[in-house]
Amino acid sequence: MSREAHEEPRRALLAVRQSEARLRETEERLSYALAHTRTLILEQDSALRYTRAEPGEGIANTVLGRTDEELLEPGDAATLLAMKRGVLASGAPVREDVELTIEGERRCYDLAIEPLYGPRGETIGVTTIAADITERRRAEDARRGREERIHEAQRMESLGMLAGGVAHDFNNLLMSILSFAELALTDVPQGAAVCDDIERIQIAGRRAADLCKQMLTYAGRGRFQQKGFDLTELVRELPRLLEVGLPRDVHIRYDLAPPPLPLMGDAVQIRQVIMNLVANAADALGDVGGVVTLETGFLDADAAFLARARFGDSLSPGQYVCITVTDAGCGMDDLTQLRMFDPFFTTKRASRGLGLATVVGTVRRHGGAIHVDSQPGQGTTIMVLLPCARPSNV
């Protein structure tokens, strides 16, 4: 036997061993990748009982030999079983995103479900590749939330510029009308029939001027008096003003924190904010009536809470003075909440003017935020957050 013929079996054996080593290395890499990914590979038999689970560590002992009905909540199990039975019956693969409760936490999975074939091509079960996309979905939701808040801020800014420009020019015209009406009264004899008409012109002009002031406040261009005051003391002075305009079957429950609740700003405008919020809550109660709760206090707001509040993105986490108005009325859907602070927007048959729009202008002028919690049929809670002032400034 030649030397080359003698070496041939040894080279073949060496090649086999090298192939086995590469195969083991590939398997190890695949096992490592599976163990460190949030993607699961699952197989089930025709009875939809799990027969394979990868990565095996931590999940095989949990799922093997069991069904979705034994592993998941009833609603989640019903969703998966319907999808998998459809694949078994039709042979057509399915790809869909579903939310499942896993170990008490709601998570989102991208599921690819395909038939599992036997050696003769028959369908013997299903294969499911489940990719955990929870973090990606949360990131997408957060991005959409930021884009919506930016869009809303731009929309509110545009509305504010429009309202402010119209109010400014209209107010100048009204001042001219009121001035000429005053001059006309001095030029006609007292008691003349025309005096009544001129006085009606003055009354209508003053009401229109008040409306202009509200529009300027919404636009953040109204007069602003910066002064320290205590919120609780301010609210304690309001009961008569608040209750005089409310229906008889609406009552206010006060839950006021002990003073001081120090604020720096315009007390007159903050008083108007409270009155507008209470009036809006009373309207939400409708003909049934009920209780409107007015609360004051401190709130330690974190970044997550501020991110959910209107105009809260630019604020820093910390302690804020808050005004909270709650009603058990009709509540609001998402679309109504989106537009509730727009000028002249109303869900009422008779328009009520700029009440909530002026709340926006005042809160923004004071460097605060507004948090709204409402569901149709479950009432509404509106919380106004305002920066605390130093007690020495009050």
- Cα 158 to Cα 61, 154, 163, 252, 361: the distances in Å are 60, 6, 9, 35, 13
Strand 262-265 to 318-327 pairing = unpaired
For residues 345 and 284, what is the distance between their CA atoms, to the nearest angstrom? 15
Q: Are 261 and 297 a contacting pair, CB within 8 Å?
A: yes
Q: CATH code for 145-218? A: 1.10.287.130
Rounded to whole angstroms, the Cα distance separating 273 from 358 reads 8
What's the pLDDT score for residue 277? 92
pLDDT at 373: 93
Q: Which pLDDT does position 5 carry in this prediction?
A: 58
Token pair, residue 145, equals 């939330």
Query: 14-132 adopts what CATH topology?
Result: Beta-Lactamase (3.30.450)
**Nearest CA to 129 among 207, 43, 245, 69?**
43
List, for the chain, all residue ranges whose pLDDT scores fall below the cut of 50: 30, 33-36, 350-351
State whether the Cα torsion 32-35-37-42 is positive or negative. Answer: positive
- Residue-level length of the chain: 394
* Amino acid identity for residue 106 in this structure: R
DSSP state of 117: E
* Beta-strand pair 105-117/94-102: antiparallel
- Which residues are within 8 A (CB) of 307 and not within 5 positions of it... i.e. 6 or more apart? 145, 313
Output the CA–CA distances (angstroms, integers) from residue 314 to 222, 226, 265, 306, 310, in the order listed: 22, 21, 19, 9, 10
**Residue 319 β-bridge partners:** 300
Cα 325 from chain centroid (whole Å): 18
| Nearest Cα to Cα of residue 242 among 284, 286, 280, 297 | 280
Helix/strand/coil percent split, the chain, to 5: 50, 25, 25
Q: How many CA atoms lie within 13 A of 188 on its CB side?
A: 16
pLDDT at position 368: 92
> What residues does each domain of the chain span?
14-132, 145-218, 227-393
Strand partners, 106: 101
AA letter at 214 = Q
User: What is the CATH code of the structural domain delimited by 227-393?
Assistant: 3.30.565.10
How much is the pTM?
Answer: 0.51
Task: Give me 256's structure tokens.
Answer: 């006021």
- Model pLDDT, residue 34: 46
Q: So what's the pLDDT on residue 347?
A: 67
Relative to beta strand 290-301, strand 250-255 is parallel
Matching fold, domains 145-218 and 227-393: no
Per-residue model confidence as pLDDT tens digits over 212-251: 766 666 666 656 567 889 998 889 888 877 877 788 889 9
Three-class SS of residue 341? Answer: coil
Residue with tokens 């320290």, as numbered in its chain:
228
Q: Side chain identity at 286, as an amino acid letter?
A: G
Q: What are the pLDDT digits (tens) for 41-76?
A: 899 999 999 998 887 555 667 888 899 999 899 999
